[in-house]
Structure 1
Amino acid sequence: MRRAILVTGLIAALALPAAAQEPAWRETAIKQRIDPASLSGLLSAEALRDLAQKGRALFEARFTILDGAGRPNATQAIVPTASRRPAEQAFQRLAGPDANACVSCHNEPVTGGAGGFVTNVFVSEGFESADFDTLDPQFSNERGTNHLFGAGLVELLAREMTADAVAARARALRQARASGEAARMDLASKGVSFGRITALPDGSVDLAELDGVDADLVVRPFTQKGVMTSLRQFTVNALNHHHGMQPDERWGARWTGTADFDGDGVADEIGTGEVSALVAFQASLPPPRETAPDDPAWRKAATTGRQRFADLGCETCHRPALPLESLAFADPGPVDMAGTLRQGDVATPAVYDLALLDWARTLPRNDKGEILVPLLGDLKRHRIADTRTAALGNETLAQRFVERDVFMTAELWGIADTGPYGHRGDMTTLDEVIRAHGGEASESAEAYRDLPEAERSALIAWLKTLRIEP
């Protein structure tokens, strides 16, 4: 009964009309709220472009205290958490808020891109008790800024892979019940193996052989650790953490009992409509692509380098492309979690059909008609460091139960435009970060180190053709 009242109240809140437009000269970044009731069902190409443009404006907006920037009585934690002590500064580079705009960090080579070392952020274990004002690595991890180009395609791949894994678990359970014996089943999707599960006749599942995915079988494709499920979850978290702009779908009255959880005097700082626009902008960003250099010598070297990349076994994790069945991006998505707007919270989710965008027509397809997403990744976590080669396992604090030396495979598309490299952004060349691979990638890294200089150079020449070109 309580949940029914909450959901009814949320839907009623979503139906409220958008606020009146602010005067152009008022020192606010948000001039007009976006009515979430207008975002339902399949959006036309024109409506999608308009929403994405509004999202871009919000992504580039420099939020002010009149918008609600800052969070004097709240921490960066994912779970709404009140500060244990007053913040000495409204903005600070450690626990944040640490930026005025999304584009303050996501700006290289253009809006939505990556960021240099100067834009590094500090992240705690994430859930609560996130006050810290020290560089001591036992309190936070320092991370570089990832680019967002092709992010809509990445999330769609993760959704389909999650659906495949969940369906495999259901098959195993049916088989175990029918046979009365344990049913051991491989978990694989789009050619990527996530280990095995064993279903038991009593309905329980042994997950000891899972590999690179959480126990709930949800593929979480975002952040270096692979701990964010969706662009919406990432956006909601980042608005609070980096800007002190608190989305009401998590920090509002439904979950916290107040419209001004951070106590800055501004209620309902970011509505579900604004978050949806930010998601639409990020999901609509075109994927990076492989370019053909004008220099003939570079083209020749890149051809050789592409082959060496395969020869070294790099494609085991950096898969050239993953097949995608559908370009229909539902928002909210099917596996968003509590504290983020979910499909059950709205009458009908909005659907952004990425096929309506010009760049979608350039994506290759396989003989089944599936879109081939050339991300050079596998959306899976791997152990990437060991005692001999520890540079990429340099974090002290585990995050969301993911071990310190385990990270998501970095998608290589766009890598030519998104240096520096490594999780902390402290490696200035591609050669450095390749040599730093340990753990599951140690054999490939060692083989790279053993190549003649000309062949290592050729591999770099190919990587430097993977560009972000809006």
Structure 2
Amino acid sequence: MYRKFKAPYVALAIITLLSAKHNQAAVVDDIELIELAKSSTPLIEHCDNQVTSQSFIDVFECGDELFETRFNALDGVGMDVGDGNRFTRVPRADLNNWLNSTPNRSTGPNAEACNVCHTTETIGQAGDGAGPAGLNVIRDPKRAGITAQFIQRNTPHLFGMAGPQLLAEEMTTELKQIVELTKQQSCRLNQTISRPLRTKGIEFGFITVEPPCLSPTVTINAEGVKNDLVIRPFQWKGNVASVRQFSRGAFHNELGMSPVEMVGEDVDGDFDGVINEITIADNTAMTLYLAGQPRPTSLLELDQIRHELTRRFGEAGVNHANELLLPQLTRRQRDSIRRGERIFHDIGCADCHRSQIMIKQLTFSEPSRHPDFRDDTFPSGQPGIDPDKAITFDITRDQPDNKIEFGNQLIKHLGAFEKDPQGRAIVRMYGDLKLHEMGPRLAEGIDETGAGSSVWMTKELWGLANTAPYLHDGRATTIEEAIIEHGGESTSSQQAFLRLENRMRHDLLAFLNNLVLYFVESEED
């Protein structure tokens, strides 16, 4: 059973580990840790009690606290990365302790808190935005210490994470259903059957099934997804399936806070004298906090809310809109944005950057209801990791933040996903969750995942205006630069952009700059 550790236990854990032989002295060595524990305490407040309660709001709030905590040495943050340092921007394969950490790390540790990299960069002056260029993450996937094989990753924003995961789950289910239906049809007709692998209007290759029924030959020619047909919506290479996997990877790699579910219980995998740094419950809380973040929005939508407040409440509504920092667009600006959206579709950008995709499943569940998006190796019976004791929330209703209110009246729950007339959730992420060949200009020196050095997941554009710099390594300082860097499958759209008249280019950029992150400052903030 995983425990919630208090300060006295941490001190005892450190003493217990004194007999272990570490490769190098830590930034604060074991003796110093014991001295530190006499007058200081760990800063982490573990989330085991909240997860046991199975209350989404309680778990969300505990995850919020974890996100903002600046962990210290007694928490186990960081590790010895040489020269007395606990953090590093450059992976240190030259040091045995970094190279031999369990499990392996490809970067950092980079910082002592999540919000060091995921900074506040939103309209509304609150919330968790995207990290600036100075906080790009440098990775060494080959762990060889060869700088030519290092890669950079631009820090993403964390809004609306439940939407892409639920969308990926539905798409994965539909692709696998096509496989089963094709096998059944081939068996019934006793002939070779081929079908396109299409879900949500997006093509992912095709499948061919040849008889006989008992041992059919199944050939999957996947495009933009691995042959297992699991859509992985996170990371620039589309190699992380779930918010939970994303969260625990960040704890481990970026913060040096080793999750029990990765390193094992009572194991000091990074030689810092501390064990059980992130409990399973802690990662459950962080997962639900990230999944419960508000969705991105647009200037047009925010401007509409301003008009609604003004129409209904007059001068008081205007004053409230000003307090909320809601933009006030001119008619010319609104017209330019709408023309730009048409141009966006006309030149083919929307072929990959799908403006909206509908999903039937409204409930985010931790653990996931989909077997390909959860870990079935965890101990059974525990809330937050047992499917029978899942913690859930409705993505069209339950997010705590971005409720636009006037008095006791809810004007719009801007943080929740919208519904269409059929009751489906609308995910306006401007992406397709598909891998694409992007040409030599965007190729890296190494192939990190085996998909190809110039193959990338379509970057979702929601929140674009607040998340400069752009592209996987932050090389583009403007949206125009990012478009010009496109090649490969997107060459025709890139060329069409370059042929646009200045007026049309201005409208297109007005539309793209209309895609923003908004986080209203609440009374608790």
TM over 0.5: yes
**Which stretches in structure 1 are left out of the alignment for 5+ residues?**
1-12, 41-46, 77-81
Choose 1 or 2 for highest CA Rg.
Answer: 2
**2:100 is the counterpart of 1:85:** no
**Pick from 305, 324, 330: which aligns with 2:340?**
305
Which amino acid is 2:496 matched to? A
**Matching residue of 1:370:** 424
After superposition, the C-alpha distances for 1:183-206 in whole angstroms (9 at most, x for unaligned) are 212111111111111123324421
**2:229 is the counterpart of 1:217:** yes
After superposition, the C-alpha distances for 1:79-128 in whole angstroms (9 at most, x for unaligned) are xxx9972459x9xx983111111111111415432111111112343xxx
Structure 2 counterparts to residues 121-136 of structure 1, below 5 A: 121-125=137-141, 130=143, 132=145, 135-136=147-148
Distance 2:379 2:467 in 1: 32
**Matching residue of 2:283:** 275
After superposition, the C-alpha distances for 1:235-256 in whole angstroms (9 at most, x for unaligned) are 1111111111111011114xxx
**2:134 is the counterpart of 1:118:** yes
**Pick from 66, 77, 89: which aligns with 1:69?**
77
**Matching residue of 1:351:** 392
Shift in Å at residue 266 of structure 1?
A: 1.0
**Pick from 413, 416, 420: which aligns with 2:462?**
413
Structure 1 residues 340 and 377: alpha-carbon distance in aligned structure 2, compared to 1, 3 A threshold: farther
* Residue pair 2:297, 2:517 contacting (<8 A) in 1 also: yes
After superposition, the C-alpha distances for 1:397-441 in whole angstroms (9 at most, x for unaligned) are 212211111101111110010011111111111111111111111
**Which stretches in structure 2 are left out of the alignment for 5+ residues?**
9-36, 82-86, 88-92, 301-327, 404-412, 520-525
Which amino acid is 2:131 matched to? G
Shift in Å at residue 340 of structure 1?
A: 7.5
Distance 1:100 1:339 in 2: 30
* Residue pair 2:359, 2:425 contacting (<8 A) in 1 also: yes
Distance 1:71 1:338 in 2: 27
Distance 2:513 2:255 in 1: 33
**Pick from 107, 110, 117: which aligns with 1:105?**
117
Aligned to 2:206, the other structure's residue is in SS state strand
Structure 1 residues 419 and 342: alpha-carbon distance in aligned structure 2, compared to 1, 3 A threshold: farther
Identity rate, percent: 31
**Matching residue of 2:158:** 148
**Matching residue of 1:5:** none
Distance 1:176 1:37 in 2: 47
Which amino acid is 1:121 matched to? V
TM value normalised by structure 1: 0.83
**2:14 is the counterpart of 1:28:** no
**Matching residue of 2:20:** none
Structure 2 counterparts to residues 64-463 of structure 1, below 5 A: 64-72=72-80, 85-87=96-98, 95-110=107-122, 111-125=127-141, 130=143, 132=145, 135-136=147-148, 138=149, 140-201=150-211, 202-207=215-220, 209-253=221-265, 259-292=267-300, 293-333=328-368, 334=370, 335-336=372-373, 341=378, 346=386, 347-354=388-395, 355-357=397-399, 359=413, 363-386=417-440, 390=441, 392-393=442-443, 395-463=444-512
Aligned to 2:373, the other structure's residue is in SS state coil
Which amino acid is 2:373 matched to? D
Distance 1:234 1:217 in 2: 19
After superposition, the C-alpha distances for 1:144-174 in whole angstroms (9 at most, x for unaligned) are 1111101111111111111111111111222
TM value normalised by structure 2: 0.74
Distance 1:105 1:434 in 2: 25
Q: Which moved further from structure 2: 165-174 or 108-117?
A: 108-117
Shift in Å at residue 372 of structure 1?
A: 1.4
Number of corresponding residues: 423
Distance 2:143 2:120 in 1: 29
**Matching residue of 1:38:** 52
Aligned to 1:445, the other structure's residue is in SS state helix
After superposition, the C-alpha distances for 1:201-232 in whole angstroms (9 at most, x for unaligned) are 3244212x311111111000001111111110
